[in-house]
Amino acid sequence: MSSSTLIAATPAKTKTLGYAATSPSTPLAPFSFARREPLPQDVQLEILYCGVCHSDLHTARNEWQGTTYPVVPGHEIVGRVTAVGDEVKRFKVGDLAAMGCMVDSDRTCPNCREGLEQYCPNFIGTYNSPDKHLGGMTYGGYSKNIVVDEYFVLHVPDQRNLAGVAPLLCAGITTYSPLRHWKVSKGQKVGIVGLGGLGHMGVKLANAMGAHVVLFTTSPGKKEDAQRLGAHEVVVSRNQDEMNRHLESFDFILDTVSAQHDVNAYLQLVKRDGTMTLVGAPPQPPSVEVFNLIFKRRQLAGSLIGGIPETQEMLDFCAQHSLTADVEIIPIQKINEAYERMLRSDVKYRFAIDMESLK
Ligand code: NAP
Ligand code: ZN
């Protein structure tokens, strides 16, 4: 390919503003960069709210390795459509819309054909993935606007609390998808480990699906909140007597913990043939006592966000059940403080950035 074709293939760009980390140890700070002008199949959103996920922090600080700097995190996005390409059919200027952790995939592999784009080998993340249009890396939702292929843009059925809808795009779908995949239903006993962004949505969703919900927490002060959010029982996981009362009794446990912890303590609570699924992604690998699996034929599994069709299904389910995230709205200038508070488990239960604050 000649250099002239390369230039011709590069779409027009406009400048925008975001917040970026430039190294694992530097606080996030204002950062100017370019977005492409919408291509025929693209939707351009002015970002209204962006949730703050623990994955943003893991990535900003290179805790999983593989971060390319500068990185603009953010993948829980609600916005207003400000432009659409000629071929866009499902959105028009002025609509409210949302997008989550993915901006592209190959659309042809077996995963994509099943609507499981998150498992596509050519999945492109909303941030820290190669940007095939402009080169460099994709930049996420801690920014004024974003341009995305229409396929990855979702409709917002409940528009009453947009800040509370934003976290559904990661925390919501990451808990909804495994609860559905492992067929959580009425009458089952379901454990949710950790009451943070993901965990509090897990409690709400499992309750709405009819399960008997038990929340495991390291923070005794969260007990009343957990009950208000939909937990039928709350166990302080550092209390061995409380843990022992639940031995071999769970159909399903969803572990949302962001830091190193003992998964064996929870595996022992799963009943024969039950499943424990990890969605939390601490940088250190877990240590699993194999007899906890063998003796009761238990399964230990993992799950990644959710596909686009299921994400729309989750948004519709949440609208039907009047579920949104409990958010503390912050201006973007408080993002570094929010990260420190998230590390101390001091958030009720998701920060959402009001993007109006970014000027
Ligand atoms: P978060 O809001 O910080 O919540 C994590 C919760 O884990 C805390 O609130 C705390 O709950 C518990 N916790 C923290 N440190 C702990 C420790 N040392 N021991 C035991 N419990 C501890 O984080 P989040 O945004 O929900 O994300 C959670 C994890 O999921 C992160 O690792 C994130 O990267 C990952 N994630 C995965 C996916 C996926 O697709 N699989 C998607 C999004 C996020 P208590 O105070 O109740 O104990
Ligand atoms: Zn996330």
Residue-level pLDDT at 4: 41
Please indicate whether residue 7 or residue 129 has the higher confidence score (pLDDT).
129
Ligand nearest to the CA of 262: 1
Ligand 1: residue whose CA is nearest its atom 39: 304
Mutation test of ligand 1: which of 256, 304, 305, 327 has the most ligand atoms closer than 8 Å to its C-beta? 256
Which residues have C-beta within 8 Å of that of residue 26, sequence separation ≥ 6?
none
- Counting atoms of ligand 1 from 1, which one is nearest the CA of 219? 46
Q: What tens digit of pLDDT does each residue of 214-248 get? A: 999 999 999 999 999 999 999 999 999 999 999 99
Q: What tens digit of pLDDT does each residue of 289-309 get? A: 999 999 999 999 999 999 999
Radius of gyration for the alpha carbons in the chain, expressed in angstroms and rounded: 20
Ligand nearest to the CA of 304: 1
Q: Which amino acid is present at 300?
A: L
User: Considering the entire predicted model, what is its pTM?
Assistant: 0.97
Given a cut of 60, whether residue 8 has pLDDT beyond it is no
Distance CA 55, CA 305 (A): 12
Coil vs helix vs strand at 130: strand
Which residues have C-beta within 8 Å of that of residue 329, sequence separation ≥ 6?
49, 163, 351, 352, 353, 354
Q: How confident is the model at residue 158 (pLDDT cuts 50, 70, 90)?
A: confident
Given a cut of 80, whether residue 65 has pLDDT beyond it is yes
Instruction: Please report which helix (H) or strand (E) contains residue 214, including its range.
Output: strand 212-217
Q: What percent of the chain has pLDDT over 90?
A: 97
Q: What tens digit of pLDDT does each residue of 21-61 get? A: 999 999 999 999 999 999 999 999 999 999 999 999 999 99
Upper half-sphere CA count for residue 334 (Cβ side, 13 Å): 15
Q: Is the CB of 205 under 6 A from ligand 1?
A: no
Question: Which two structure tokens, joined as six digits, stand for 308?
Answer: 């686009």
Report the mean per-residue pLDDT for the chain.
96
Q: Which amino acid is present at 86?
A: D
Ligand nearest to the CA of 55: 1
Q: How confident is the model at residue 6 (pLDDT cuts 50, 70, 90)?
A: very low
Residue-level pLDDT at 9: 73
At CB < 8 A and 24+ separation, what contacts does 5-11 make? 10/133, 10/134, 10/135, 11/36, 11/37, 11/39, 11/133, 11/134
Mutation test of ligand 1: which of 258, 261, 304 has the most ligand atoms closer than 8 Å to its C-beta? 258
Q: What tens digit of pLDDT does each residue of 162-215 get? A: 999 999 999 999 999 999 999 999 999 999 999 999 999 999 999 999 999 999
Ligand 1: residue whose CA is nearest its atom 38: 279
The position carrying tokens 């909140």 is 225
The alpha carbon of 76 and the centre of ligand 2 are apart by a number of angstroms equal to 7
Mean pLDDT of 142-171: 97
Residue-level pLDDT at 3: 43
Which residues have C-beta within 8 Å of that of residue 113, sequence separation ≥ 6?
none
Residue-level pLDDT at 10: 85
Residue-level pLDDT at 5: 43
Given a cut of 90, whether residue 7 has pLDDT beyond it is no
Nearest to 80 by CA among 159, 17, 170, 152: 159
Q: What percent of the chain has pLDDT over 70?
A: 98
Q: Is the CB of 217 under 6 A from ligand 1?
A: yes
